[in-house]
Amino acid sequence: MAERCPVCGLPKDLCICGEITKEQQIVRIRTERRRWGKEVTLIEGLNPSGLDLKKFITDLKTKLACGGSFKDGVIILQGNHKLRVKKLLIEWGIPEDSIELE
C-alpha torsion angle, residues 69, 72, 52, 76 (rounded to 10): -30
Q: Work out the pLDDT band at 72, boundaries 50, 70, 90.
A: confident
SS3 content of the chain, % helix, strand, coil (to 5): 35, 25, 40
Q: Residue 19's pLDDT is what?
A: 61
pLDDT, mean over the chain: 84
Contact 74, 42 (CB under 8 A): yes
Report pLDDT digits (tens) over 32-70. 999 899 999 999 988 766 567 888 899 999 999 999 999
Q: Domain 25-101 is in which class?
A: alpha beta
Secondary structure of residue 54 in the 3-state scheme: helix
Q: What is the pTM of this model?
A: 0.74
Which helix (H) or strand (E) segment holds residue 43: the answer is: strand 39-44
Strand bridging mode 74-78 / 68-71: antiparallel
